[in-house]
Structure 1
């Protein structure tokens, strides 16, 4: 999964269902760890759902587009579940150069 440009193409033909959100992690380092962890998994049905992520300072910015609402809901829900898990791990154990060990 590649990082998104600063201006994703919204409402391209057939991609009528969209969602944008951002999460402020309080530090660029934590945002980067979450981004790098989530970026390795692409969408399972890229012909039906697009996901673009980028970092903006200490914020993770995510854009979804889908051909049907049910695909958007499923993709968004799965992504948020993983994001919450990674966020909890970062909060619990920190990152390697903060002196914490995992």
Structure 2
């Protein structure tokens, strides 16, 4: 499992000015869809301050976070990674295979 983090920060007059991107190679399309489905039900607690967009392609989960302030971005990203870690450990524990 490979995690890649790409972050950018911009200053402009748009509503969402900070963003961070996370890409996780889950080894197979099946694993990526399982993780996506598990995480998609967990909505942002403050959708007016943080937006999260997820997609799956070629066995990779890509997640884009956009926030109005750094503290909201940090809190959302941190909570997401906690649940992502739990989900990937569950897949590893129950032996879903990589392609």
Q: TM-score scaled to structure 1, two decimals?
A: 0.80
Query: 1:65-93: per-residue Cα shift (whole Å, max 9, x none)?
Result: 00000000000000000000000001111
Q: Which residue of 2 aligns with 1:45?
A: 46
Q: In the alignment, what sits opposite 2:33?
A: 32
Query: 2:16: which partner in 1?
Result: 15
Residue of structure 1 in register with 2:85 after alignment: 84
More strand by share: 2
TM-score, normalising length: structure 2: 0.82
Q: Which aligned runs of 4 or more in structure 1 are off by greater than 6 angstroms?
A: none
Deviations 1:12-36 (A, max 9, x none): 8121110011000111111110000
**Structure 1 position 94, deviation (Å):** 3.4
Separation in 2 of the partners of 1:12 and 1:20? Answer: 21
Gaps of 5+ in 1: 1-9
RMSD over equivalenced CA pairs, Å? 1.8
- Unpaired segments ≥5 residues, structure 2: 1-9
2:95 is the alignment partner of 1:94: yes
